[in-house]
């Protein structure tokens, strides 16, 4: 899940659209609450996400939260 800024709801749909254009179809969840997010599931979609964002930065904390297949 990719957390979204609850104070910038006008950015949620454009981000989801941009991901769809590169073959990562997310599901927008939690838009009525305080923790909106984009859910990305499925092996192929996660592989494309990892391919686009690259390797995690140094540090164990980043590794735990970084997307992987």
What per-residue confidence (pLDDT) applies to 41? Answer: 92
Residues written for the chain? 69
Closest CA to 51 of 26, 23, 32: 23
Closest CA to 28 of 50, 18, 36, 20: 36
Print the domain residue range for 57: 2-65
Read off the pLDDT of residues 22-51 as tens digits, 9 standing for 90 and up: 999 999 999 887 899 999 999 999 999 989
Neighbours of 22 (CB within 10 A): 11
The pTM of the full predicted model, rounded to 2 decimals, is 0.79
């Amino acid at each position: 899940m990719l957390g979204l800024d609850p104070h910038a709801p006008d950015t949620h749909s454009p981000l989801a659209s941009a991901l769809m254009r590169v073959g990562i179809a997310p599901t927008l969840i939690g838009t009525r609450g305080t923790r909106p997010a984009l859910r990305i599931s499925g092996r192929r979609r996660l592989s494309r996400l990892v391919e686009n964002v690259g390797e995690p930065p140094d540090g164990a904390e980043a590794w735990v939260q970084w997307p992987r297949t």
